[in-house]
Amino acid sequence: MQRRQFIQACTGVFVGLAARRVCPLNAAPRFSTNPFTLGIASGDPWPDGVVLWTRLAPDPLNGGGLGWEMIPVEWRVASDERMRNIVQRGSTVALPDLAHSVHAEVHGLQPGRWYWYQFVVGEGLNRIESPVGRTRTAPSAGGAIDQFRFAFASCQRYEDGYYTAYQRMAEEDLDLVIHLGDYIYEGAFKPDLPRQHPKEEARDLERYRNRYALYKSDADLQRAHALFPWAVVPDDHEVENNYASAFPEDPGELNFLTRRAAGYQAYYEHMPLRAASIPRADDIDLYRRLAFGNMVEFHMLDTRQYRSDQPCGDGEQPACEERNIETATMMGTTQEKWLQEGLSNSTARWNVIAQQIYMAPFDRDPGPGELYSMDKWDGYTAARNRLMNFFADRQPSNPLVISGDNHNNWVFDLKRDFGDVKSPVVGTEFVGTSITTNGNGSEQKEEYVPALAGNPHVKFFNSHRGYVRCRLTRAACTTDFRTIPYVDKPGASIRTRATFVVENGRPGAVVS
Ligand code: FE
Ligand code: CA
């Protein structure tokens, strides 16, 4: 009854391009418990500022616990970790329509510098401060820098284990963390796992929100967010396993676009994304570029929202005619053109294409047959050929593809013609393993091993859990596969399982 009255008291407005309600403003909120249960984060650094994120959620696993009020939130940025020298401050309003999330876009900061930030809600005796986070602005556009360090991660199914990999990542010196998707998994509870998912699969906004809240309640994940700026793109499990644009995994599923809209909205609400990514109906704008001086440009792709449907089934399938269909698209025509233009115009030494599923072919049949996972670029060979031909013909500066999704570490040579061992290498792909998904890893996933010999462009294969760390200089990209031996208990130590070097102007990774 009370909730109904509040909804009726809310009126429509536009935030960005999306219709939102304006609800009663609670200028002096009182919280019975701390509302900063999901931590803080920063993201998408530009030379003059970043996005600062938090979400007010005193009851995080049950919708947040804040009803329909709008709540004012202050933020401040300092040049020191004790928050004494405040260089920027501002205020915003946490809206119930966005789950009381906060996305403060800060401008006017100095390029290439560390900053610290904090949120504050309430007044007087009811004043509550968030933890202090650290972030870093991008170097000035085109500016000369000696090095850039980043890590990338993906696939963190909560129930499969502990986020020890993030605990170890927090000990690294990094300028940026990239997340390549499967930040949450939508699935229902399964027994006998290290941690527990909720009973029901996430299909609507309320359950997607509660799922993010569960994942973001993890202290190791919160710490990795609090220490570095992140740049994020989702894969499939933020909505549903193996969906393709408007096509659900199960063709019989009704109202899939309504579900997709809920998944996209919850993703935006929980990520440090700019206002350009506020969802509109069932769409979200996520592909974008981030540049770091003259060293590197990241081309962040969305390979889910615009792709054609998987050919001949979305799982592992024998090669079929449809996988070579000319009209197949992985990015959609607009994004594909945007990528090619961006690569052509880039003045950066390194061009990192940050995307979801592995790009190189991998024929899983060790015999004369061919077996491919049709959810990957292997189901979209025409789209892959267009990009490989572009690399070969236009030679953008040092293209590196980084990928997630597969729960294994891989290094691939990218070639114009993968069937011809003499065809030149035109790019390099690093695929990162999962943070937790599929549980404790092993040296190599057994079922792929017999097929390795038939895929000579594979330079490395490993199935431990962890993340990938890259250091870029003018001369080289040095990539470390950081692995942990188990995730079913906390506390694993980390090691560098393998290191690969790509030299400037020489595509292809060489073991170091
Ligand atoms: Fe995954
Ligand atoms: Ca996936």
Same domain, 100 and 171: no
Q: How far apart are CA 66 and CA 104, in angstroms?
A: 20
**Cα(350) to centroid of ligand 1, in Å?**
27
Around ion ligand 1, which residues have CB less than 5 A away? 155, 182, 437
**Cα(304) to centroid of ligand 2, in Å?**
10
Per-residue pLDDT, 5: 44
**Cα(285) to centroid of ligand 2, in Å?**
19
Is residue 252 packed enough to be buried (19+ CB in 10 Å), middle (13-18) or exposed (0-12)? exposed
Same domain, 156 and 122: no
**Cα(123) to centroid of ligand 1, in Å?**
43
- Name the CA radius of gyration of the chain, rounded: 22
Q: Which of 135, 165, 200 is the last residue of a domain?
A: 135
Same domain, 86 and 186: no
Same domain, 173 and 296: yes
- Residue 421 C-alpha from the chain's centroid: 33
**Cα(309) to centroid of ligand 2, in Å?**
15
Q: How many domains does the chain have?
A: 2
**Cα(156) to centroid of ligand 1, in Å?**
7
Tokens 């040049």 correspond to what residue? Answer: 79
Q: How far apart are CA 512 and CA 499, in angstroms?
A: 6
Same domain, 149 and 121: no
**Cα(242) to centroid of ligand 2, in Å?**
7
**Cα(144) to centroid of ligand 1, in Å?**
36
Is residue 311 packed enough to be buried (19+ CB in 10 Å), middle (13-18) or exposed (0-12)? buried
Classify the C-alpha dihedral 444-449-455-456 as positive or negative: positive
**Cα(334) to centroid of ligand 2, in Å?**
23
**Cα(152) to centroid of ligand 1, in Å?**
14
**Cα(493) to centroid of ligand 1, in Å?**
23
Same domain, 101 and 145: no
Residue 237: how many other CB atoms lie within 10 Å: 24
Per-residue pLDDT, 4: 45
**Cα(373) to centroid of ligand 2, in Å?**
12
What CATH number should be reported for the domain holding residue 245?
Answer: 3.60.21.70
**Cα(237) to centroid of ligand 1, in Å?**
7
Give me the domain span that covers residue 107. Answer: 3-135
**Cα(307) to centroid of ligand 2, in Å?**
14
What CATH number should be reported for the domain holding residue 96?
Answer: 2.60.40.380
**Cα(470) to centroid of ligand 2, in Å?**
22
Same domain, 119 and 187: no
Ligand nearest to the CA of 160: 1
Per-residue pLDDT, 20: 67
Q: Which of 100, 117, 135 is the last residue of a domain?
A: 135
Same domain, 104 and 214: no
Ligand nearest to the CA of 438: 1
Ligand nearest to the CA of 432: 1
**Cα(238) to centroid of ligand 2, in Å?**
9
Same domain, 55 and 178: no
**Cα(157) to centroid of ligand 1, in Å?**
7
Q: Which of 114, 135, 156 is the last residue of a domain?
A: 135
**Cα(435) to centroid of ligand 2, in Å?**
13
**Cα(20) to centroid of ligand 1, in Å?**
32
Q: How far apart are CA 14 and CA 431, in angstroms?
A: 40
In a structure prediction context, what are the per-residue pLDDT tens digits for the chain, which is 512 residues long?
344 444 456 776 665 556 667 788 998 999 989 999 999 999 999 999 999 999 999 999 999 999 889 999 999 999 999 999 999 999 999 999 999 999 999 999 999 999 999 999 999 999 999 999 999 999 999 999 999 999 999 999 999 999 999 999 999 999 999 999 999 999 999 999 999 999 999 999 999 999 999 999 999 999 999 999 999 999 999 999 999 999 999 989 999 999 999 999 999 999 999 999 999 989 999 999 999 999 999 999 999 999 999 999 888 999 999 999 999 999 999 999 999 999 999 999 999 999 999 999 999 999 999 999 999 999 999 999 999 999 999 999 999 999 999 999 999 999 999 999 999 999 999 999 999 999 999 999 999 999 999 999 999 999 999 999 999 999 999 999 999 999 999 999 999 999 999 999 999 999 99
Same domain, 214 and 316: yes
Same domain, 129 and 145: no
**Cα(438) to centroid of ligand 1, in Å?**
9
Per-residue pLDDT, 19: 62
Same domain, 131 and 165: no
* pTM exceeding the 0.85 threshold for the entire prediction: yes
What is the DSSP track for 248-311?
A: -SSTT-S-HHHHHHHHHHHHHHHS---GGG--BTTB----EEEEETTTEEEEE---SSSPPPPT
**Cα(107) to centroid of ligand 1, in Å?**
34
Q: How far apart are CA 275 and CA 107, in angstroms?
A: 14
**Cα(183) to centroid of ligand 1, in Å?**
8
Ligand nearest to the CA of 154: 1
